[in-house]
Structure formats: structure tokens, C-alpha cells
Amino acid sequence: MRSLAVFFIFSFIISTSLVAQDVSTAKTFYEEGKLDRAKSAIDAAVKESAANLPEACIWKYKIYNSIAKNTAYSNLVPNAAKEAFEAIKKAYDMPGGTDGLIKELGVGYMSKFNDCYIGFISSGSGKMNKKNYADAFEDFKSALAASDFFYKKKMITIDLDTALTFYAGYCAFQNKDDKSAEYYFKKLVDRGAYGADVQIAYGWLCNYYLEKTKDIEAAKLVCSKGLKIYPSDEYLRSKSIEITRAGNNIEDLFKQYEETLAKPGAAFTDYLAYGAELYDYLFVNEDNHTINNTEAKRIRMKDVLLKALQLKPASAEANYILGMYYTSIAMEINKQAEGATVDRKTALNKIVDSSANASITYLEKAASLFTANPNLSSNKKVQLKTALQQLINLYNYLQQPAKSQETEEKLSKL
């Protein structure tokens, strides 16, 4: 046993000597600016079985950190900055690590940790601004790892850097890495974080659960948390409507719209969305359900759409829906007049004429606004064509051939 112990001691001495030699060689190459050869030497040092000497790790930090900052050598180790930070962390945790750090880096060695942290943020920000989201994500992850290290070592008192967590999640979703985006955005939502940028996290995560994972309860929870912090967020409000719609209870959906409009922050988009919802319920999908309180809902539909136009007179969509509403009324009353008595038919025809003229007013305005937009979406183009076709029908009904022909020419050019 004694000879065996002597053998281990002897082996340790040899191994330690080799490490020291490799570190000394790495130092020489480092001072000569030969970073590639310095890297090879320090890599050999940290691979030795006795490489629990902090000096090897500290010099790996110095060499790799220099490689990260030197454009001539930066391709030598693509993630050199990250490896440098891992090396200095390892040195810090080793027996005698603090003494070694003071010896090699000076009494202000803690600033080197912060330099790494700032470097990750700066690099990530630059890459993010250039839309290199994949590499920016890795930098922000490294910055978060540094922040976590600082917290665990009680160097800082904040355990979650909300800004960095957001940037990591943002770069992940821009890079279509949904799982990573969910991970970081969920951290923010679970913590109830807030801020101008963080607002995006709530909307993205809500939509992710609603559309991708089909987890309605999770989407509802995120949306609820988000609206408490950002009550005027139109995107979250629209998602809240979608979540309610997923419950397949139309009356609950209408109730939610009413609650939204009753709040001080109700916006044009809220009124337009509710008006469109009521129009579809009353006239587009009417064969798929039993309509309750038809007349009250029609009156409410007109009220909210008129309020939408009050807030935004140049809304092509609001004008279009109101125009289509009056067309639907004209067709409905016209059908009633077919079998009516003479007096009743005369009265009904007056309503048809009035509705037709009201429809023309709104559809002409909608068509004009749609036409003035050079970047119409495919859906808006369909609405424009429908508006023009309905105008042709209305002009023909009211015996206005010149306007009908003019509108036909516009339609043919689309």
C-alpha cells in the first residue's frame, strides 16, 4: 500500500508539472499574440487530470476572452466568450480560486465577471438589431446564465433579469423556436413582469396556447394576467374574445363584448369587431342557429357600428358592414312585399327604397375607401368586389342605369 501511495503522489507531481508547463507555454504564446497556439497549450492544460488548479482555468479565460475580441482569431472558437466565462466561473469555485484570481487578474477581478456579462448583452443586442436572431438568442442565454451565477453567489439580489429574459424569448420566437420562446415568455408571465417590451410576451404566449397547443385554459390564464397589467391592449382583448368564442356560447361572447365596450378604454376596433360579430350572427350564419332577440340585436349592431364610424369615419370595413346590413334588410322586406296586399306592399316598398338608398350611401363610401388603398389584403379585395356587385344590383333596382354601368366597368377592372 505504501508503494502504491507513493506512486499516486509521484503521478500527481508529474501531472501537476505538466499542467504548469502547459500553462507557462500558453502564457508565452499569449504574450506574443499567438492566440491560436496559446489556445492549444491551455486546452492541453485543462485536459490534464490535475487540472483542478485555478491557474489553468484563469488563463483559459484570458486567452478565450482575447480570442472573442480579436477578429483575426474569432472564428477559431465560435463561442469563445461563453467558454471564457465558464472558465472563470470554474476557477472561482475551485479551492484557492479567489487567491488565484487576485494573483492573475488583480484585486478587482470581479469586474471581469461583469465585463463578460456586459459583453454578452452588447453582442446579443448587435446581432438582434441585424436580425441575426439565432446567434443573438445564444448571447442572451449566456447573459442570463451569468446573471443566474451572480444571484446564486449572492453578488446581486435580483433573481430574474426581465429585460434579458424578454430578449431571449423575443429572439427565439423570431427564429421560430417556439419551445424556447414559450420557456422564456412564461417566466415573465408567471412572475407578472411588466414593461413596454414585455407586453409582447403576454400576447405571443396567449396566441401560442390558443393556436398552437390548443390549451384554452392556459391561454385564458395568460390573457387574464395580461389584461390586468395592460387593460387597453387591443391584441389581448381580441384574444380574449377568441378564447370565449372557443367556448361555443355566443351569448357569452356578446356579453364579453358588452363588458369591453362598457370600459373606459373601449376603442374603435372593439366596436367594429362587435358589429361584425353581430352581422355574421344575424345575416351570414343565420341558418346555423336559432337567433334570440333578433330586433334588439339588429338595433345594437347598428349602434356599435355607428359608434365605430364616429370614432373612425374613414373606416371602409364599418361602412361596408352597414351597407351590407341595409342590403339584407331591403332584400328581406322586398320578399315580404311579394305576397302582401296593395296597401301593405306600397308601405313595404317604401322601406325597401329607403334601405336600398341607405345601403348605397355606405357601400359607395366603402368602395371609395377600399379603392384608395393600394395595399388591399385579399379579404378586403373580396369585400370591395362584393360592395361593387351589390351597388350594381341596387342601382338596377332603383332604375339608375348610368350608375349601374359605371360600377360594372369598375368591377371589370379589378
Place 247 in a pLDDT band, splitting at 50, 70 and 90.
confident
- The answer on pLDDT for 394 being more than 90 is yes
Predicted local distance difference test score (pLDDT) of residue 14 = 38
Average of pLDDT values for 120-144? 94
The SS3 of residue 88 is helix
Amino acid type, 366: A
321 Cβ partners below 8 Å, 6+ apart?
275, 276, 279, 305
Q: Is the pLDDT assigned to residue 54 strictly greater than 60?
A: yes
Taking residues 52-73, what's their average pLDDT? 80
Read off the DSSP letter of residue 193.
-
Higher pLDDT, 28 or 276: 276
Residue 6's pLDDT is 38
Q: Average the pLDDT over 17-22 and give the result.
A: 56
Each residue's pLDDT tens digit, 187-198: 999 999 998 889
pLDDT on residue 288: 56
Give me the pLDDT at residue 48, please: 60
> What pLDDT, on the 0 to 100 scale, is given for residue 329?
93
Select the more confidently predicted residue: 23 or 403. 403
Mean pLDDT of the chain: 86
Residue with cell 356560447: 249
C-alpha cell at 380: 378586403
The whole-number average pLDDT for the span 129-151 is 94
| C-beta separation of 334 from 287 below 8 A | no
pLDDT tens string 249-292: 888 889 989 998 998 888 999 999 999 999 998 998 755 567 77
Query: For residue 130, what pLDDT is reported?
Result: 96
Of 20-24, 32-36, 263-267, least confident by mean pLDDT is 20-24
Q: What is the DSSP letter of 289?
A: S
pLDDT value, residue 289: 60
Residue 52 pLDDT level (bands cut at 50, 70, 90): low
pLDDT at 114 over 90: no
- 198-226 pLDDT, tens digit per residue, is 999 999 999 999 999 999 999 999 999 99
Determine which of 116-120, 133-137, 157-161, 190-194 has the lowest per-residue pLDDT on average: 116-120
In the predicted structure, residue 388 carries a pLDDT above the cut 50: yes
- Note the pLDDT of residue 8: 37
Q: In the predicted model, is pLDDT for residue 17 greater than 50?
A: no
Q: Which own/partner contact pairs does 303-308 have at CB distance under 8 Å and 24+ positions apart?
A: 304/261, 304/271, 304/274, 304/275, 304/278, 305/271, 305/272, 305/275, 307/271, 308/268, 308/271, 308/272, 308/275
Give the span between the Cα atoms of 80 and 67, in whole angstroms.
7
